[in-house]
């Protein structure tokens, strides 16, 4: 995680606890993360329903994986490709750009991400 940068080339900020490919709270993308879990999203019901319809149920708790299940307002490191699919379907969640890893830009144009920027001064 050392020297990880966000979409603006600045140090990557924490997304939230127990998220990211390594479950360290940061959306950095280690070499073994083929899914590019780089987008720090503030999930909402529309996105959670969309993810579930695509075979990725993020709402249901999975105690065997120490996963409590997500609810609207939670933050999670989502795959860049899934976020882009949700954008194309009209259900993309807001993103914290300071906590979104620069690898997201391999998949999503910065201007697109900026149009979904979360106002971090109003977030929890």
In a domain, 122, yes or no: no
Domain that holds residue 51: 1-114
Confidence class for position 120, pLDDT limits 50, 70, 90:
low
In a domain, 74, yes or no: yes
Per-residue pLDDT tens digits for 75-116: 999 999 999 999 999 999 999 999 999 999 999 999 999 999
**Can you tell me the mean pLDDT for 1-8?**
87
In a domain, 57, yes or no: yes
Count of domains in the chain? 1
What mean pLDDT, rounded, does the chain reach?
91
Closest C-alpha among 100, 95, 42, 39 to residue 71 = 42
Q: Is the pLDDT of residue 123 over 70?
A: no
3-state secondary structure of 41: strand
Phi-psi region of 18 (alpha: psi -120 to 50; beta: other; left: phi over 0): left
Could you tell me which residue, 8 or 68, shows the higher pLDDT?
Answer: 8
In a domain, 119, yes or no: no
Q: Is the pLDDT of residue 124 over 60?
A: no
Per-residue pLDDT tens digits for 23-67: 889 999 999 999 999 999 999 999 999 999 999 999 999 888 878
Q: Is the dihedral of CA 116, 93, 112, 10 positive or negative?
A: positive
């Amino acid at each position: 995680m050392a020297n990880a940068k966000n979409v603006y080339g600045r140090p990557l900020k924490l997304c939230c606890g127990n998220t990211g490919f390594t479950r360290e709270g940061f959306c950095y993308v280690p070499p073994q993360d083929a899914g590019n879990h780089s987008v720090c999203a503030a999930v909402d019901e529309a996105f959670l329903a969309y993810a579930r319809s695509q075979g990725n149920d993020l709402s249901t708790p999975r105690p065997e994986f120490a996963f409590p299940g997500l609810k609207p307002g939670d933050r999670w490191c989502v795959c860049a490709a899934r976020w882009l699919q949700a954008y194309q379907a009209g259900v993309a969640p807001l993103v914290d750009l300071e906590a979104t890893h620069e690898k997201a830009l391999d998949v999503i144009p910065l201007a697109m991400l900026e149009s979904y920027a979360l106002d971090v001064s109003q977030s929890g």
